[in-house]
Chain A
Amino acid sequence: MTQLTERRRERTRAGVPRPRRGSAPDGTRRAVPGRHRPGHVPAWLAAPSLAGLALMLVYPTLFVVALAVTKSSLARPLQRFTGTDNLVEAWESLAFAGSLVRSVVFAVVAALAATLIGVLLALLLHARGTRFGVVGTILLLPLVTPPVMVGVAWKLMLAPVGGAFGGVFSALGFPGANPLGDGVGAFSALVVMHVWQWTPLVTLLVFAALLGVPGELREAAALDGAGAFRSFTNVVWPVVAPNVFSVLLLELVIGLKVFDLVAVVTQGGPGVSTIVAGFEIFRTGMRGSYEIGTAAAQTLVFGLVVGVLTTAVTLLRARAVKADR
């Protein structure tokens, strides 16, 4: 996700020596007896975050694997070993297979839409000046709104009676239309809400990257007779491309996490049309029949899908960045 190697290169270029571990005092610095050597980063500074990782990443992963191969109830986990029963059950559940597809479609479509719109907005803002300005402040508001309340606001707007679009729908010849009433409409509505919330993040980050495009390069391109489009493809894009790909990956990750909107706006309906993987796992494990083992098995499969997808995009990004150099 970050540009680790690039950063390393940058630092050497800047002539800042990399802090070395275990190297002998080189004579230019006084060694303080009985203390850490200056510049040596003590390992315990990383301890709190490593403990956090153990609690939030290592333990959950191991425990989910254990839950997936055993029978559990909410009151008593890991009752007896059941082998692959849970995995088979998760795999055979049509609702789950569908939810995986929906999660991926949701995340990919939303990430592409948010990135495209966000980049265009950033270019628009940048055409006006170097300050983020009033519009920028307004764009922060969707970003800091709790997704639950985004859902509430949009659901109220889309309500057939008392909603905001009743008049619009009538004018278009669909009086009483209810986008949340059919599967495709509800799924699209959720994508729109999510994109509404997360596009500003793209705009913000890409706008910052645009400020890093050297002005002289643009001027030189303009002197050479390059129009706005040529100037963008030849001068601006190569500089901002790595950031745009990072943001795309970030948006993809955010899209795969979607849960709140579904829980508030559609509850997975109508039918199963908006059940995404996160919601299905929650429904299986934490609600209704509390099938912990199945939910754990589903979690493993979903984790695998997320891993494959984000790795693929990371590799694509690495290749695109390399090609741009």
Chain B
Amino acid sequence: MSAASPAATPAVTLRRGGVRVALAAVAVVALLPLLFLVSLSLRSVDDIANGGWLPSRFVWSNFSAAFSTVPLSTMLANSWVVAVGATVLTSLVAVPAAYVTARAGARGERLQAVLLASYCAPPIVAVLPLYYLLKQADLTNTAAGLILVNGLANVPVAVWLLDGFVRRVPVEVEEAGWVDGLSTTGGLVRLVLPLLAPGLVAALLICLFLSYNEFLFAVSFSQSTGSQTLPVGLSLFQGDRTVQFGQQAAASLVGIVPMYVLAVVAQKWLVGGLSAGAVK
């Protein structure tokens, strides 16, 4: 921001101004749909019908109305339980797997290749088989079923991100531990894991977002009113013509804002983790 370069010629100043204007435009485009949601959520039915961008008068009732029109609190609770549970499962599976992909040579690289191939397959491929499996296990319409499916589905992403972080831990750190009598697994838990923390935070947050946002599995396996997650509930909201725009916007915001807060607070780790994990 405080660009105090010694030779700030008019051309350079002009160029910097241009870059700044362009970036501001980008920010506006990125925020536009979200700001429009905020605007809608604060307007009455008539105000929305009149069109325009800004509320003529602020109305707060959409938020309370959304909670009574649909079981919004149940959906929110379901979404959070599924997202947190799935993220825990993902980390339990992905951390040892990332250690293998990073440290086990050719075997590790084979595992990595298969995991990435499985990520390339569209999830629709697994929907019918998993439906029968979950039904057999009595896990349809339960949070446990979605936790299992989402948790495992996100493993490739987590391994992909964590692999780079494990590689950056010098083997010498572990060797010192082995000499002191630690097993490989002991070294992983006591020495490597603490050093993975920044990457782990990023990977877990991304898996949390992915599970929280997931729709296909949720709409296929958990349709009962009691087990619906927020995306499923909101998608049904769409077909229902009696529900007003203002309430839809309010319900969406209630669902997204906590995630936005998380993303902004953890911005440093997210950006660092994504870039370090993905750019190798």
Contacts and interface: CB of A to CB of B under 8 A. Distances in A.
A156 interface: yes
Interface residues of B, number: 110
B144 interface: no
Contacts of B126: 56-57, 60
Interface string B103-126: 111011101111111111111111
B264 A137 contact: yes
The residue among B123, B131, B280 with the most chain A CB atoms within 10 A of its own CB is B280
B128 A147 contact: no
Interface residues of A, number: 110
Contact residues of B: prevailing secondary structure: helix
Contacts of A60: 125-126, 128-130
A259 to B, nearest CB: 5
A246 B280 CA distance: 11
A56 B31 CA distance: 36
A36 B104 CA distance: 14
Contacts, number: 307
Contact of A257 (B26, B122, B234, B271): B122
B216 interface: yes
B20 A208 contact: no
A149 B231 contact: yes
Interface in B246-280: 248-249, 252, 255-256, 259-260, 262-264, 267, 270-271, 274-276, 278-280
Given A45-B100, A162-B48, A253-B120, A63 B128 contact: yes
A136 interface: yes
A140 B179 contact: no
Interface string B29-41: 1111110110010
20 contacts: A2-B116, A21-B105, A21-B107, A38-B175, A49-B111, A60-B129, A63-B128, A67-B129, A135-B24, A136-B267, A149-B234, A152-B234, A153-B34, A156-B40, A156-B245, A156-B249, A209-B275, A243-B278, A257-B123, A281-B124
Interface of A: 1-4, 7-8, 11, 16-21, 29-30, 32, 35-36, 38-42, 45-46, 48-50, 52-53, 55-57, 59-61, 63-64, 67, 74, 77, 121, 124-125, 127-128, 132, 134-150, 152-157, 159, 161-164, 166-167, 196, 200, 204-205, 207-209, 211-212, 243, 246, 253, 256-257, 259-260, 263-264, 277-278, 281-282, 285-286, 292, 295-296, 299, 302-303, 306-307, 310
